Amino acid sequence: MKKRGKIDLRIWCAGCSSGEEPYSVAMVISNFFEENKISGEFGVLATDISVTSIEKAGEGVYQAAQLAHVPPQMRHKYFTMAGDENVIVKANLKKNVLFRRLNLMRDIYPFKGLFNIIFCRNVMIYFDGPTRKTLIEKYHRYTEAEGYLFIGHSESIDRSSQIYKYIKPAVYQKI
């Protein structure tokens, strides 16, 4: 995570759908770095099996009403109006998010490094028990030492597996 006095943070949003989660993560981290005068870089890899979802997410166009819960200062900083009812993600945020197609059922993922944080929220609910177990093992393989895995609140990891430590509901840390 620390590299030559700088923070280098790698995040993966698996099952990113139309991109709201990876852009939200990027906004929070960008603000945190700026407010705390942290020197470093971060990148968010956002993957989904759906080409349509990935293309939509990469465009970064959303209905303005979808941002009602986003604080005004963040809306201004990271979005610009695109017509009367749409907003588009600004380049200063887009540059930190990379969208790629990925089938989670692959045996090996084409990643060059490990991730400090993996978000896989409400993805595993679509799979049976053995498939979920296999996915958890794959996530573990691509998580940095002491890195974190965030899952959906309706999902859980078998605590006897000894590969992730339970932190609190939906949050686990690599052992």
Terminal-residue alpha carbon distance, the chain: 16
Summarize pLDDT for 161-175 with one digit per residue, the tens.
789 999 999 999 999
How many C-beta atoms surround the C-beta of residue 173 within 10 A?
14
pLDDT tens column, 42-64:
999 999 999 999 999 999 999 99
Q: Encode pLDDT of 63-93 as tens digits.
A: 999 999 999 999 999 999 999 999 999 999 9
Q: Are strands 164-168 and 86-89 parallel, antiparallel or unpaired?
A: unpaired
Q: Is 0.85 surpassed by the pTM of this model?
A: yes
pLDDT of residue 115: 98
Annotated domain spans of the chain: 2-56+96-174
Rounded Cα distance between 10 and 168, Å, is: 22
- Residues 82 and 88 sit within 8 Å (Cβ to Cβ): yes
Residue 3, beta-bridge partner list: 6
**Alpha carbon distance 124, 14 (integer Å):** 10
What pLDDT score does 101 carry?
97
Q: Given pLDDT bands bounded at 50, 70 and 90, which one contains residue 4? A: low
What integer pLDDT is reported at residue 125 of this predicted model?
A: 92
Pairing of strands 171-174, 115-120: unpaired
pLDDT tens digits, one per residue of 104-133: 999 999 999 999 999 999 999 999 999 999
The Cα-based distances of 75 to 21, 30, 80 in angstroms read 15, 13, 8
Q: Which fold has domain 2-56+96-174?
A: Rossmann fold (3.40.50)
* Strand ranges, E, within 15-163: 40-48, 61-63, 79-82, 86-89, 97-101, 115-120, 143-151
As given in the structure block, the two tokens for residue 169 are: 């509901």
